[in-house]
Chains A and B, each alone.
Chain A
Amino acid sequence: DADVTQTPRNRITKTGKRIMLECSQTKGHDRMYWYRQDPGLGLRLIYYSFDVKDINKGEISDGYSVSRQAQAKFSLSLESAIPNQTALYFCATQQGSGGYTFGSGTRLTVV
C-alpha cells in the first residue's frame, strides 16, 4: 500500500455539486497538506493541518473546506464545485521539518 493514498484518482462532477476528496497516510506524520496543480501555475497550497485540532488556510482556500478526522486522515471538500476548480489535487504529509511525501493525486473535472 502507498504511504499516502488519495481517493478517488479521477472524478468528473457537475457544477454546483458537493464533492469530497480523501487522503489517508500510514507514515504517522503530523503535518498534512492539500495542494492543487494547474498548468502554467504550478502547485498552490489550499489548506494545511498540524494535528487533528489544528487547521490553517493556505494561499487559495476560498471555495474549499477541510476536515482532519484523525491523524491519518485529511479530507478536502468542495461545497459547490465550479469549473475553475478543475485541477489536479495532491495531498502531502511532512514530519517535523523533514521531507514531504505526496499522494498520487486526484484529477478533478468540473463540468
Chain B
Amino acid sequence: KNEVEQSPQNLTAQEGEFITINCSYSVGISALHWLQQHPGGGIVSLFMLSSGKKKHGRLIATINIQEKHSSLHITASHPRDSAVYICAGTTSGGGADGLTFGKGTHLIIQP
C-alpha cells in the first residue's frame, strides 16, 4: 500500500523564520505534490516534483528519490503563509488512480 508520512503535524513559528516541512513516502510513489489549504478550505497545488528542486517565490521544494523524502521550505515566513500544507504522492504510471495524501502540517506564523 502506498503511504505518505508528514512531519511535523503542527508548527508554530515567528514571522521571518525559515520553515521546513518534511514528507517521507513509500516505494511505488513516483512523484510528490505539495498542496496548500487555507482556513477557507480551498486547496492549491504548489509543486509537483519527481526529482531535484523547484522554487516559486519564497517557497522551495526538494525531493531525494533514493531516500524517498521530500521537503517544503518557506523562507522569510509571513503570517499569510499560515495554512495546512499537504504532501501527496502519485504512483508510477502518472498517478492515474489519484493521489495518496499525507495528513497535513498545520502551520501558524505569528507576527
Residues on A lying within 8 angstroms of B by beta carbon are 31, 33, 35, 40-45, 48, 50, 56, 58, 88, 90, 92, 94, 96-105, 107
Contact = CB atoms under 8 A, between A and B. Distances in A.
B43 A90 contact: yes
Contacts of B104: 42
Contact of B94 (A42, A97, A104, A105): A97
B45 A42 contact: no
A96 B94 contact: yes
Contact of A58 (B33, B44, B98, B101): B98
Given A101-B45, A102-B44, A102-B45, A43 B96 contact: no
User: Which range contains the number of B residues in contact with the other chain?
Assistant: 20 to 34
B98 A45 contact: yes
B41 A41 contact: no
B98 A105 contact: no
B41 A104 contact: yes
A64 B43 CA distance: 22
12 contacts: A35-B98, A43-B101, A45-B97, A45-B98, A45-B99, A50-B96, A56-B97, A98-B48, A99-B45, A101-B45, A102-B35, A103-B42
The 4 closest A-B pairs by CB, nearest first: A97-B94, A102-B43, A45-B98, A42-B103
B86 interface: yes
